[in-house]
Structure 1
Amino acid sequence: MPVFSCADAIGGGTEPNGSEVVAVRVGQHDGYDRLVIEFNGPIPAYSVTGRSGTSFTTSPKGQTVTLGGTNGVLIVMHSIVNWTSYLGPYAFEPNFPVLREARQIENFEGYQQWALGIQGSPCLRVTTLTSPSRLVVDMAATR
C-alpha cells in the first residue's frame, strides 16, 4: 500500500468514460480515516488537494461553507456521466479523529466536488481499487 504524503494527487481517466458515482462512504481505521467514492465504470479524472482552513465555495451557487476541523481536502472529479443520478448521501459528519466532516459541494455538468474537513495536517494516501472501481482517500491520524 502506498505511503501517506502531504502532496496533492491527480489521476484517473482523461476522457469521458461513462462512469457514474454510485456510492460514497466514510470509515474509521487504526491510524487513519477513509472516504471512498465508488463508480459503476472506470475511475474518472480526479484531483485531491490539501488546503489550509475548512472554508469551501459551492458550485455553481458560489456560497461559502465551513466544515468542521482545522484543515481541508478538496476532491474534484470530472467527466462524470449522468451526474444527476447520484442520490446521496451528500454530507457526512462522522466526527472521526481526522475526518470531521465531508460534503458534496458541486454536482453540475459532469463535475463533482467533495470537501473534507479534517483535524490536523492534510497528509493523505490516495489509491484506486477495482471490482468495483473506487477512489480511496485515507487521512493519516498522526504525522
Structure 2
Amino acid sequence: MRKISAGMGAVVAVAGLGLVAPGPASASPYCGIMWGSLAKADPDMSSANVTNVRTGQQACYDRLVIDLSGKVAGYSVQYVPVVVQDGSGFEIPLLGDADLQVTVTAPSYNQGGQATYVPAAKAELSNVSGYQTFRQVAYAGSFEGYTSVGLGVRARLPFRVFTLDGPDGGSRLVVDVAHHW
C-alpha cells in the first residue's frame, strides 16, 4: 500500500510541476520590430513638392525615402493587390510577392506645372538588386497633388512610416520594411 501511495504521490508531484513550471519562452520580435503590416496614413495636404526618391539598406530593414521641398503633410502607405498609376488607373506590375503603394500628398511638379522630380527610368527608380526585402521601386505617377510610388517587396512584411525634417528646409517621408516578421 505504501508503494502505491508513494507512486501516486510522485505522479501528483510531477503533474503539479507541469502546472507551475514556466512554458517555453516566446520568440522575441525580429530586431525588436513590432510594426505590423496594416495601412498607415496621414490625411493632411502638403504644399511641398517631391524632389527625389531613394533607397537604402539597414541591418534589419530596407528603407525608401521620398524627399520633398517643404514639410511632409500627408501620405498613405498600404499593401494592395496591384499598384495603380495616378489619374489613369493603369496597373504597375512589380517584382516580388507583395506590393506596397506609397502615396504622398505632394505633386512632383510646381505651381507652374514644371516637373520637380523626373525619374530617369520610371520602372526602376532605384537599383535594389541585392536588397533583402525590396524587389523593385517604380514611379506610379503624379496627379492632382498626389505622387505615388510602387514598392515591390519579397513578401507581405511589417513596415513603418514616419517623416523627418531637413535638409535645407525640406523634409522626407520614410518607409521602412522589415526583412522578417
Could you tell me which residue of structure 1 aligns to residue 135 of structure 2? 100
Report the residue type matching 2:86 in the other structure.
S
Alignment of 1:1-143 (within 5 A): 3-11=34-42, 14-15=44-45, 17-52=46-81, 55-80=82-107, 82=110, 84-89=115-120, 90=122, 91-95=125-129, 96-132=131-167, 133-143=171-181
Q: 1:40, CA displacement in angstroms?
A: 1.2
| Total equivalences in the alignment | 139
Give the helix-richer structure, 1 or 2: 2
- In structure 2, relative to structure 1, the CA distance for the partners of 1:51 and 1:61 (3 Å cut) is closer
Report the residue type matching 1:138 in the other structure.
D
Q: 1:88, CA displacement in angstroms?
A: 2.3
- In structure 2, relative to structure 1, the CA distance for the partners of 1:75 and 1:142 (3 Å cut) is same
Contact 1:50 / 1:122 at 8 angstroms: preserved in 2? no
Q: 1:36, CA displacement in angstroms?
A: 0.2
- Structure 1: 5+ residue runs without aligned partners? none
Q: Which runs of 4+ in 1 moved over 4 A?
A: none
- TM-score normalised to structure 1 length: 0.84
Report the residue type matching 1:115 in the other structure.
G
Bigger relative CO (Cα 8 Å, ≥ 6 apart): 1
Q: Which stretch has the larger CA shift, 126-135 or 88-97?
A: 88-97
Greater gyration radius: 2
- Root-mean-square deviation (Å): 2.2
Distance across 1 between alignment mates of 2:106 and 2:164: 19
- TM-score normalised to structure 2 length: 0.68
Distance across 2 between alignment mates of 1:138 and 1:62: 26
